[in-house]
Amino acid sequence: MAVEITCDVESVEEFKAAMQQFDSAMQRYVHRQLASWAADVKALAKQLVPVKTGHLRSSIYAKIQEWVAEIGAEATYALFVEFGTRYMQAQPYLYPAIQEHLPRLEQIICEAIDQAKAEAGLQ
């Protein structure tokens, strides 16, 4: 038994256009939300970091590139403060800041999908 599937070319083109608009809308929305999330994590890390000279605190950064948020510190000793050494106890500031804001990531993604669907007229 053979099954024949036919598609209306016009509806396929409309679907492709809607999906492209959906993708673009979702990327814009996620980027905005991710940037806001990363800024909040960065702010909390700056509050939590131990301060002697202020260099470590001033080197904390948040970068957003496509769907990736990178949060860290550029000071050469940042890793030693976060994880400790055999001579110095760890004083975590990045990990707790990320953990505090981690639950919001799922919410951001769900909201992005809903927002993009609405912008693309797929709801």
Span 10-50, pLDDT tens digits: 566 665 666 666 667 677 777 888 999 999 999 999 999 99
Q: How far apart are CA 37 and CA 62, in angstroms?
A: 10
pTM (predicted TM-score): 0.73
Give the count of domains, the chain. Answer: 1
| pLDDT value at residue 51 | 96
Helix, strand, coil shares, percent, the chain, to 5? 60, 10, 30
Q: Which domain holds residue 43?
A: 20-119
Bridging pattern class, strands 68-73 and 60-65: antiparallel
Q: Tell whether the torsion through CA atoms of 88, 93, 94 and 97 is positive or negative.
A: positive
* Within a domain: 68: yes
Tell me if 5 is assigned to some domain.
no
